[in-house]
């Protein structure tokens, strides 16, 4: 049998009250606690004091009658159901009673136990269902409003901030926070049931947003005290909408007084969490789109730059090649062997320059598309650098003096040989190119336990301070290079390759005093 209901009988006739009591006490389906009074005024006081489920009301009462009582009750407890019982039954009275808010109407003359029992039971049940409906509508309204506020922004930080504030206000709790799971993607592929048990799944999470009331325990709420906490998972769906993963969870904490979380509160939080998940998903999607768009724009700018550079850089050598070739064609027979060789050398040099330029551009393009193959091998740094320096000295006919210094432990160094040759080749050729004839260039290698520090210092023209930040970007050249040839790709390629080695590059430069480029590379790349 369902738990007992409280009824209030308001009737000035003692005998009638006794009849109702008897009829209702015999109801086999429901038990009642019965309050009674003979006056409407006292009836109003009683239902203020006691939580009643239903009122049986006689219309004919001394002083305040049933009609007046209904008016007062509508102000006081608009949802408390009332059944009218009167000796003078008529259709007009029934209609008027319903208009005034009564739920049903029974004529005393025709009253039978089963009629009273059934009417009372049905009215209470109907009223309970209506109450549930009202609550659920109110909940939906609140959730809709919250969702609207949460989803007003497309910025993740703003979304999370709004969500914790809304949840804290909705529940009046001491503390609300959002945690996001950290770790790699495979970690995320968990299903929603496993998720809640954080201690067992041993997943790492970090707080991303919180809101706290002053009443909360100390500076750091005791979030491990599970009896004060409520954890609601935030589950995101993958693009295909079939797979889902736990993004994080909503943590609600209340410690200023004992609180039993109500089932409705938990249900509401789950609904908020669904809306929050959608908002997070939208924000993440927007972020990804923005990044892709930026990448696309960068790539487009890069391509335009390539077209401009290639057409500009090719025009001069092509003109030289054309001139040399037509001289050879027209006057070849009359030219002596040294002149002929001079023109052929010119053609070869210009073709090599053009071919190098294409190689550089292709290399950067592959790096941009992350298509570079990386093959790590053990490299003996001392002979590696000795050869490199010898080649440079020969190719520049000893324009500068290159001094090489080694210190520390340089053994056990690994890297991609071709890439390392390109990196150091670019840095050494810059040092020579931008130095005066006879300039001193110091190349130093310092071996540490896990890394090697390489530095290249010259006494050349230097780089203007305001241009140093962008000098590693492709096609950027110092405004002081004057007629020194170059395309502005060497440093960009070197930087990309250093990063592929998980290394760092930094720069010091002073105009007319010199430049020092420092590269730090790990001895072995950890994967
Ligand atoms: P290339 O692509 O043929 O190497 P580049 O030397 O102009 O052409 P980067 O090596 O990328 O291109 O260098 C970019 C710019 O940085 C140079 O144009 C120059 O202005 C400046 N720069 C680089 N190294 C030095 C240096 N050692 N001393 C002075 N300026 C330098
Ligand atoms: Mg260069």
Which CATH architecture best describes the domain 377-522?
2-Layer Sandwich (3.30)
Structure tokens at 185: 């993607």
Q: Between these two residues, 367 and 119, which has the higher pLDDT value?
A: 119
Is 208 in contact with 180 (CB distance < 8 Å)? yes
- DSSP string over 280-323: HHHHHHHHHHHHHHHHHHHHHHHHHHHHHHHHHHHHHHHHHHHH
**Average predicted confidence (pLDDT) for the chain:** 87
Pocket test for ligand 1, best of 358, 431, 491 (most atoms within 8 A of CB): 491
Q: What pLDDT score was predicted for residue 146?
A: 87
What is the enclosing helix (H) or strand (E) of 408?
Answer: strand 401-408
Average pLDDT over residues 47-57: 93
Q: Is 10 in the pocket of ligand 1 (CB under 6 A)?
A: no
**pLDDT of residue 199 exceeding 50:** no
Cα–Cα distance, 427 to 430 (Å, whole number): 5
Is residue 89 lining ligand 1, measured as CB closer than 6 Å? no
Is the pLDDT at 305 greater than 70, yes or no? Answer: yes
Token pair belonging to 25:
């006490």
> Ligand 1 within 6 A of 61 CB?
no
Ligand 1 center–CA 491 separation, angstroms: 7
Q: Average pLDDT of 124-132? A: 93
- The better pLDDT of the pair 282, 257 is held by 282
**Which ranges constitute the DSSP H helices of 460-524?**
490-500
Query: Quick one: which of 419, 511, 414 has its CA closest to 460?
Result: 511
5-138 and 294-368: identical CATH topology: no
**pLDDT tens, residue by residue, 331-370:** 999 999 999 999 999 999 999 988 988 888 888 878 777 7
**Helix/strand/coil (H/E/C) assignment for every residue in 8-62:** EEECCCHHHHHHHHHHHHCCCCCCEEEEEECCHHHHHHHHHHCCCCEEEEECCCC
Question: Tokens for 242?
Answer: 């079939």
Ligand 2 centroid to Cα of residue 430, in Å, is 5
Angle, helix 337-368 to helix 263-331, in steps of 10 degrees: 170
- pLDDT-derived band at 241, boundaries 50, 70, 90: low
The class of domain 5-138 in CATH terms is: alpha beta
Contact (Cβ atoms closer than 8 angstroms) between residue 516 and residue 524: no
Which CATH number among 1.10.10.10, 2.40.50.100, 1.10.287.130, 3.40.50.12780 corresponds to the domain 294-368? 1.10.287.130
Q: Which atom of ligand 1 is nearest to the CA of 493?
A: 11
* Confidence tier at 3 by pLDDT (50, 70, 90): confident
In whole angstroms, what is the distance from residue 214 CA to residue 168 CA? 12
* pLDDT tens column, 422-433: 999 999 999 999
Distance 82 CA to ligand 1 centre (A): 92
428 lines ligand 1 (CB under 6 A): no
Query: H or E stretch including 106?
Result: strand 104-107
Domain 156-291, CATH: 3.30.450.40
Mutate to test the pocket of ligand 1, among 428, 478, 511 (most ligand atoms within 8 A of CB): 478
In this prediction, residue 220 carries a pLDDT of 56
Best residue among 477, 498, 514 to mutate for probing ligand 1's pocket (most ligand atoms within 8 Å of CB) is: 477
Residue 225 has pLDDT above 70, yes or no: no
Instruction: Decide: 150 and 176 in contact? Cβ < 8 Å.
Output: no
Look at residue 185 and tell me whether its pLDDT is greater than 70. no
For the cut 60, the answer to whether the pLDDT of residue 184 exceeds it is no
- Kindly state the tokens that stand for 433: 């190119």
Please tell me if the CB atom of residue 66 comes closer than 6 angstroms to any atom of ligand 1. no
Q: What is the model's pTM? A: 0.54
Domain boundaries of the chain, sorted by first residue: 5-138, 156-291, 294-368, 377-522
Give the pair of three-digit tokens for residue 245.
Answer: 């993963």
Say how far apart CA 79 and CA 130 lie, in whole Å: 9
Q: What is the pLDDT of residues 502-524, one digit of tens each?
A: 999 999 999 999 999 999 999 99
Of all atoms in ligand 1, which is nearest to the CA of residue 462? 29
Q: How far is the CA of 302 from the centre of ligand 2 (A)?
A: 18
Cα 417 to Cα 56: distance, rounded to the nearest angstrom: 96
- pLDDT bracket for residue 175 (50, 70, 90): confident
Q: What is the mean pLDDT of residues 371-393?
A: 92
Cβ of 514 less than 6 Å from ligand 1: no
Residue 278 CB-half CA count within 13 A: 12
> Residue 254 — pLDDT band, cuts 50, 70, 90?
confident
| Mean pLDDT, residues 251-261 | 82
> Is residue 180 a contact partner of residue 248, using CB atoms and an 8 Å limit?
yes
Q: Determine the atom of ligand 1 nearest the C-alpha atom of 435.
A: 28
Cα 394 to Cα 402: distance, rounded to the nearest angstrom: 11
The band of 215, judged by pLDDT with boundaries at 50, 70 and 90, is low
DSSP 192-250: HHHHT-HHHHT--EEEEEEEE-TTSSSSS--TT-GGGEEEEEEEEE-TTSS-EEEEEEE
Whether the pLDDT of residue 200 is over 60: the answer is: no
Residue ranges of alpha helices (H) inside 369-438 are 381-395, 417-433
Q: Which atom of ligand 1 is nearest to the CA of 480?
A: 20
- Render pLDDT for 433-476 as a digit per residue (tens, 0 to 9): 999 999 999 999 999 999 999 999 999 999 999 999 999 998 89
Contacts 24+ apart (CB under 8 A), 351-359: 351/317, 351/321, 353/317, 354/313, 354/314, 354/317, 354/318, 357/309, 357/310, 357/313, 357/314, 357/487, 357/489, 358/310
DSSP 260: P
């Amino acid at each position: 049998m369902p738990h007992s209901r409280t009824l209030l009988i308001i009737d000035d006739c003692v005998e009638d009250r006794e009849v109702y009591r008897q009829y209702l006490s015999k109801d086999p389906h429901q038990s009642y606690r019965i309050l009674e009074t003979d006056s409407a005024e006292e009836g109003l006081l009683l239902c203020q004091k006691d939580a009643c489920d239903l009122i049986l009301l006689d219309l004919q009462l001394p002083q305040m009658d049933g009609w007046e009582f209904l008016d007062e009750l509508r102000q006081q407890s608009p949802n408390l159901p009332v059944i009218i019982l009167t000796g003078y039954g008529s259709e007009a009275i029934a209609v008027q009673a319903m208009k005034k808010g009564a739920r049903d109407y029974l004529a005393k003359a025709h009253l039978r136990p089963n009629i009273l029992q059934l009417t009372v039971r049905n009215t209470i049940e109907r009223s309970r269902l209506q109450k549930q409906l009202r609550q659920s509508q109110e909940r939906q309204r609140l959730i809709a409003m919250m969702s609207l506020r949460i989803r007003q922004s497309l910025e993740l930080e703003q979304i999370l901030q709004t969500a914790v504030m809304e949840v804290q206000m909705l529940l009046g709790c001491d503390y609300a926070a959002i945690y996001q799971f950290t770790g790699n993607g495979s970690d995320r592929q968990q299903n929603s049931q496993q998720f809640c048990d954080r201690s067992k799944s041993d997943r790492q999470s970090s707080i991303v947003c919180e809101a706290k009331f002053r009443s909360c325990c100390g500076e750091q709420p005791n979030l491990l005290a599970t009896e004060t906490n409520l954890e609601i998972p935030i589950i995101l769906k993958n693009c295909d909408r079939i797979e889902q993963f736990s993004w994080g969870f909503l943590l609600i904490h209340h410690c200023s007084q004992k609180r039993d979380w109500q089932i409705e509160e938990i249900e509401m939080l789950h609904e908020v969490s669904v809306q929050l998940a959608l908002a997070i998903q939208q924000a993440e999607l927007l972020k990804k789109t923005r990044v892709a768009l930026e990448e696309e724009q960068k790539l487009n700018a890069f391509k335009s730059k390539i077209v401009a550079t290639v057409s500009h850089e090719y025009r001069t050598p092509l003109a030289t090649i054309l001139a040399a070739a037509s001289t050879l064609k027209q006057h070849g027979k009359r030219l002596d062997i040294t002149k002929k060789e001079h023109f052929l050398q010119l053609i070869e040099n210009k073709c090599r320059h053009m071919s190098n330029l294409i190689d550089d551009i292709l290399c950067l393009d592959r790096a941009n598309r992350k298509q570079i193959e990386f093959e790590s091998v053990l490299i003996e740094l001392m002979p590696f650098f000795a050869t490199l320096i010898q080649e440079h000295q020969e190719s520049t006919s000893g324009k500068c003096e290159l001094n090489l210094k080694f210190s520390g432990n340089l053994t056990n160094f690994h890297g991609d040989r071709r890439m390392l040759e390109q990196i150091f080749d670019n840095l050494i050729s810059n040092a020579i190119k931008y130095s005066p004839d006879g300039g001193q260039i110091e190349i130093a290698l310092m071996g540490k336990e896990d890394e090697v520090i390489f530095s290249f210092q010259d006494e050349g023209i230097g780089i203007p301070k305001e241009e140093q930040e962008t000098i590693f970007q492709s096609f950027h050249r110092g405004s002081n290079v004057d007629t020194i040839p170059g395309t502005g790709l060497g440093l960009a390629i070197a930087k990309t390759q250093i990063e592929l080695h998980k290394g760092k590059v930094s720069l010091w430069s002073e105009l007319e005093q010199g430049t020092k480029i420092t590269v730090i590379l790990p001895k072995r790349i950890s994967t």
